A = this chain, B = another copy of it.
Amino acid sequence: MMDENQVRTIVAEVLKHIDLHGRIKSGSIPCGVSNRHLHVSQADLEILFGSGYALKQMKPLSQPAQFAAEETVLLVGPKGSIEKCRILGPVRPATQVEVSTTDCYKLGVKPVVRDSGNTAGTPGCVLVGPKGAVTLKEGVIVAARHMHISAVEASKFGLKDMDRISIKSSGTKSVIFNNVLVRVSDKFALDFHLDTDEANAAGINNGDMVEIVA
């Protein structure tokens, strides 16, 4: 049998993390640091790598069915180029390049912060592969930081799709990121996605844990 003190200790510990309505008050969220990468359409993939080409999976990503491909391309902008930008699979309807603000300055394109898929009016760049080059008219974005979460976990956290939350990192370079977009889907694994500038500013490494603070 547990004595009363043990019960009190356990209840106090649980209440640190769950409110009286059973919702998680502050949970640890793993960070996924996104290095520069691109998603490609099948048509663009074939221009870059040859007719009938299929992406080769190098390793799976934290989100189900997503993977880092073996294939990389050269990004070229008006002021500079970046080698070995990795393609993430599977192929998508439209090609989209996701870079950091630091990368934008290197390429010489304006850093435009967008949610994935919302690329109208964004800068373009040239992609160069072993079999050809694609001139993108638009599609170069600095992906807005966001949190992936399943519907079950979202209800535990009291969150719904398209909510905006604040997320805090710990340590010497502790930062609170405001305006983090919440994306809820049963296809999603719990993950706070941020770019390398954001990770470096906060002293975050891939897989580190952060907290929801508001």
Number of copies: 2
* Interface: A102 (CB within 8 A): yes
User: Which B residues are in CB contact (< 8 Å) with A179?
Assistant: 172-174
* Interface: A178 (CB within 8 A): yes
User: Which B residues are in CB contact (< 8 Å) with A196?
Assistant: 102, 197
User: Which B residues are in CB contact (< 8 Å) with A178?
Assistant: 174-176
Report the nearest B residue to A195, measured CB to CB. Answer: B201
With A and B bound together, what is the CA distance between A19 and B176 in angstroms?
A: 25
User: Which B residues are in CB contact (< 8 Å) with A100?
Assistant: 102, 200
* Interface: A177 (CB within 8 A): yes
* Interface: A54 (CB within 8 A): no
Q: With A113-B203, A203-B113 given, is the CB distance from A102 to B172 under 8 Å?
A: no
The answer on a CB contact under 8 Å between A202 and B201 is yes
* Interface: A153 (CB within 8 A): no
Q: With A175-B175, A175-B178, A179-B172 given, is the CB distance from A200 to B144 under 8 Å?
A: no
